[in-house]
Structure 1
């Protein structure tokens, strides 16, 4: 069943990691999970940008909204960027494995990255209440829990001691930050070619 590990990752994360490790699914299963969960922030962002609007001031006149065409293009771009980012992180996790004495398959690396990213992607639901401070708090909470899942999951999925797993997970976090910077720079470059947001008037 798709998404059948989500509750366990919140309620009893370490036990759920052991369950994931003992019942490895196929790469396609992890991909379907990723494709489904990436829809949450994408659809939420589209609805928020076109139907709710962002309010950075005290009056409704300061509400910012995008045209449906612009929001659709940006949402589709966001969707594939999220999936591509997780794939890239999966590859980097797989590539670094032997350095830390692990020998995972790419499917295991994909499972680790996809399930670790799940809490962060689910924070996209907060976009239905697009208040900047609220979004920052929810985003920070989601990011923190995703990092916790990574640190708790690496030793279990990669079958290495916790001490080595801590260093391994820290390396993955570093790679994730580098990927984030690359995505941000790429977004700026794309926007400079005229693909930026178009606001309603």
Structure 2
């Protein structure tokens, strides 16, 4: 894990200054982080759904076949990359209202680092459980929101008052984009890819 990512959890205020400097010096510095971090939920979900499984009834365990799990994880990976890129584009588009002039790459980079807690929460996919997923995602979502509101004024070089309104706008758009993309992914998963389930009796 790189130093800026560690600082996001230990010194978030200083982390955003370092990240902005890195993105200014290397416009696509975020790309390696995005491609690698997006693998965490996809790989963990593949392992969890094929090796551990989940229980819908007391006497059986349900798993996905390797082929179905691979389809799901590939679809999730593409969805994550597309979602971050779209949110980055919206951040860039909204920046004009707040007198900020970031590049598209910088905005996608900001979205990538802001979503870091959500990427790391993907570790919960190793043990598929609805309640575990809800708790972990809520905690990760709360910290990502904190990073957004703390980091946007620093990253965009704007006043805190503007940053508050800008952050709230990004949060709303980000939530809308996330829900829209996830719903489309789920519909594609169930209606087009037709997953194959493996049911194993317990005992």
Cα offset, 1:36, TM superposition: 0.2
| Aligned length in residues | 198
Q: Structure 1 residue 31 and structure 2 residue 16: aligned?
A: no
- 8 Å CA contact 2:53–2:127 kept in 1: the answer is no
Q: Summarize deviations over 1:72-100 as a string: whole Å, max 9, x none.
A: 01100100110110000001100110111
Contact preservation (8 Å) 1:26, 1:107? no
- What is the alpha-carbon root mean square deviation over aligned residues? 1.6
Say whether residues 1:53 and 2:53 are aligned partners. Answer: yes
1:139 Cα shift? 1.0
1:18 aligns with 2:29: no
For 2:171, the equivalent position in structure 1 comes to 173
Partner residue in 2 for 1:132:
130
Residue 9 (structure 1) aligns with: 8
User: Residues 117 and 196 of structure 1: is their aligned pair in 2 closer, same or farther, counting only changes over 3 Å?
Assistant: farther
Cα distance in 2 for partners of 1:195, 1:119 equals: 29
Measured after TM superposition, the shift of residue 120 of structure 1 is: 0.5
Aligned pair partner of 2:158 in 157, 160, 163: 160
Cα drift, residue 29 of structure 1:
2.1
Tell whether the 8 Å contact from 2:79 to 2:182 is kept in structure 1 after alignment: no
Give the stretch that moved more between structures: 164-173 or 34-43: 164-173
Structure 2 Cα separation of the partners of residues 151 and 158 of structure 1: 12
* Normalised TM-score (structure 2): 0.91
CA–CA separation in structure 2 for the residues paired with 1:56 and 1:3 = 39
Summarize deviations over 1:149-174 as a string: whole Å, max 9, x none.
11111000111111111111111111
Mapped to 1, the partners of 2:196 and 2:68 lie a distance apart of 6
Which one has a larger percent strand, Structure 1 or Structure 2?
2
- TM-score normalised over the length of structure 1: 0.92
